[in-house]
């Protein structure tokens, strides 16, 4: 019997730029990038998709974009800037997805043109999916506008939309062409969104960088009150850790079962879904981190005091560390705990959950002891349910 072995490598690379006032006339960051992508006399197109929450808070943005692009002759704005509703709802809306595909078609966006998305993680996930599957992939530039998307989702390689209420059921791995983090956008966030993104920083610090965790402890109170320079540092450090993990972790497209960046996420995903996404991703992750940290201490892997030190930090960031859905519901097991099974399925293969070896280092387990987990829930309830 004959066979042919196919094997090849594909290189992926992109830059994450950190700047302020990206579309101000004297800011050259975006222009320089575009010029690096120009090819001769060919005029490339830019189709902009903007989160309406961002547009509302930055009323000059759209006119700034067109003014900025007017001087870049090798790129053209393709039609009007498209506004889409910000937040999770946009990932549930199949008609919206296809309306963006239609725009790609109408505006003749080809594989050398760009879809540029400006917004929170939800809009970026939707636009990224549209770009990834249109013409088998048009180039995609991300301009994240929330703490979460600047320090985590926007700098990574995933996109996704929800399907029949199942979070990210449809999506792909598709690295962006470039990412532009403009810190100014963060000044108009709701306080809840400002804080929610911080939980991903706590997460990545816990599994990768003890010094960063200590830095977060040191600056928690100033950070939570809206200090922009400190947030800039947080975003940079957290984004750098995510980028390094994805590029250096050996499995950027997650073909194995190991996903250390998902520390605290198995319960978070389920909590988001059960609350109909009233709980923000970052808030749910905060609960998940608290739960898995206390659970880790009950396993004896970290000291109890360490677990509570983690919970306390989240609490100082005014992030939730407990949720009633973690508990038994009138005699039936907690619906969140059932999420463990779904998490395994979404990943496939063996159940693999990241816990902590110590602050700054993750470690994996392949089973969860439900009695201890329930105990962790109880302890969190006792200590934090009413705080």
* Cβ-based nearer residue to a copy of itself, 13 or 305: 13
* Cβ-based nearer residue to a copy of itself, 160 or 197: 160
Q: Using CB distances below 5 to 8 A depending on partner kind, what does residue 193 bind out of a copy of itself, ligand NAD, none?
A: ligand NAD
Q: Residue 118 in 3-state DSSP? A: strand
* Cβ-based nearer residue to ligand NAD, 54 or 290: 54
CA pair distance 82, 84, nearest whole angstrom: 6
Q: Using CB distances below 5 to 8 A depending on partner kind, what does residue 137 bind out of ligand NAD, a copy of itself, none?
A: a copy of itself
Q: Using CB distances below 5 to 8 A depending on partner kind, what does residue 24 bind out of a copy of itself, ligand NAD, none?
A: none
Tokens 């250096």 locate to 248
Question: CA of 349: how far to CAs of 157, 183, 256, 270, in Å?
Answer: 21, 39, 8, 19
Report residue 203 CA to chain centroid gap: 12
* Cβ-based nearer residue to ligand NAD, 126 or 379: 126
CA pair distance 242, 151, nearest whole angstrom: 8
CA pair distance 339, 337, nearest whole angstrom: 5
Which residues have C-beta within 8 Å of that of residue 23, sequence separation ≥ 6? 30, 61, 64, 65, 67, 68
Q: Using CB distances below 5 to 8 A depending on partner kind, what does residue 53 bind out of ligand NAD, a copy of itself, none?
A: ligand NAD
* Cβ-based nearer residue to a copy of itself, 100 or 373: 100
CB 358, min distance to a copy of itself, A: 26
* Cβ-based nearer residue to ligand NAD, 179 or 196: 196
Residues that bind a copy of itself (CB under 8 A): 1-19, 29, 39-40, 42, 101-102, 105, 108, 110-113, 132-138, 155, 158, 160, 163-164, 166, 168-173, 175, 236, 239-240, 243, 246-248, 252-255, 257, 344-350
* Cβ-based nearer residue to a copy of itself, 236 or 301: 236
Q: H/E element holding 243?
A: helix 228-248
CB 271, min distance to ligand NAD, A: 12
Q: Using CB distances below 5 to 8 A depending on partner kind, what does residue 57 bind out of ligand NAD, a copy of itself, none?
A: ligand NAD
Question: CA of 233: how far to CAs of 2, 77, 205, 230, 243, in Å?
Answer: 57, 32, 13, 5, 15
Take residue 370 and report the two structure tokens written for it. Answer: 């439900």
Q: Using CB distances below 5 to 8 A depending on partner kind, what does residue 281 bind out of ligand NAD, a copy of itself, none?
A: ligand NAD
Q: Using CB distances below 5 to 8 A depending on partner kind, what does residue 153 bind out of a copy of itself, ligand NAD, none?
A: ligand NAD
Report whether 293 contacts 315 (CB < 8 A). Answer: no
Take residue 93 and report the two structure tokens written for it. Answer: 């809306």
Residues that bind ligand NAD (CB under 6 A): 51, 53-54, 57, 86-88, 91, 119-123, 125, 145-146, 148-149, 152-153, 156, 158-159, 185, 188-189, 193, 196, 280-282
From the number of C-beta atoms within 10 Å of its C-beta (0-12, 13-18, 19+), residue 13 rates as exposed
């Amino acid at each position: 019997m004959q066979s042919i072995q196919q094997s090849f490598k594909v290189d992926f690379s992109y830059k994450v730029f950190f700047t302020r006032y990206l579309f101000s006339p004297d800011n050259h960051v975006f222009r320089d990038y575009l010029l690096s992508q120009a090819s001769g006399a060919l005029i490339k197109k830019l189709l902009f998709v903007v989160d309406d929450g961002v547009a509302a808070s930055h009323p000059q943005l759209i006119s700034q974009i067109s003014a900025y692009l007017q001087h870049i002759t090798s790129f053209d704005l393709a039609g009007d800037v498209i506004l889409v509703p910000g937040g999770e709802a946009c990932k549930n809306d199949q008609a919206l997805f296809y309306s963006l595909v239609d725009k790609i078609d109408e505006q003749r966006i080809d594989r050398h043109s760009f879809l540029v998305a400006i917004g929170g993680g939800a809009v970026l996930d939707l636009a990224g999916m549209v770009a990834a599957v249109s013409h088998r992939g048009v180039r995609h530039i991300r301009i994240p506008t929330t703490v979460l998307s600047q320090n985590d989702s926007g700098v990574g390689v995933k996109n996704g939309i929800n399907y029949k209420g199942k979070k990210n059921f449809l999506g792909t791995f598709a690295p962006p062409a470039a990412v532009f983090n403009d810190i100014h956008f963060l000044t108009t966030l709701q306080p809840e969104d400002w804080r929610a993104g911080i939980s991903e920083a706590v997460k990545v610090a816990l599994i990768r960088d003890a010094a960063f965790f200590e830095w977060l402890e040191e600056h928690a109170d100033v950070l939570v009150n809206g200090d922009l320079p400190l947030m800039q540092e947080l975003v940079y450090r957290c984004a750098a850790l995510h980028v390094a993990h994805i590029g250096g972790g050996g499995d950027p497209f997650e073909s194995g079962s190991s996903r250390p960046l998902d520390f605290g996420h198995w319960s978070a995903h389920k909590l988001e879904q059960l609350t109909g996404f009233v709980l923000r991703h970052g808030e749910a992750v905060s609960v998940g981190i608290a739960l898995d940290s206390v659970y880790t201490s009950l396993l004896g892997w970290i000291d109890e005091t360490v677990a509570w030190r983690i919970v306390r930090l989240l609490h100082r960031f005014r992030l939730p560390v407990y949720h009633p859905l973690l508990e038994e519901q009138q005699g039936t097991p907690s619906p969140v705990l059932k999420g463990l099974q779904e998490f395994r399925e979404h990943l496939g293969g063996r159940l693999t959950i990241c816990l902590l070896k110590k602050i700054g280092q993750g470690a994996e387990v392949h089973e969860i002891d439900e009695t201890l987990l329930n105990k962790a829930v109880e302890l969190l309830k006792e200590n934090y349910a009413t705080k």
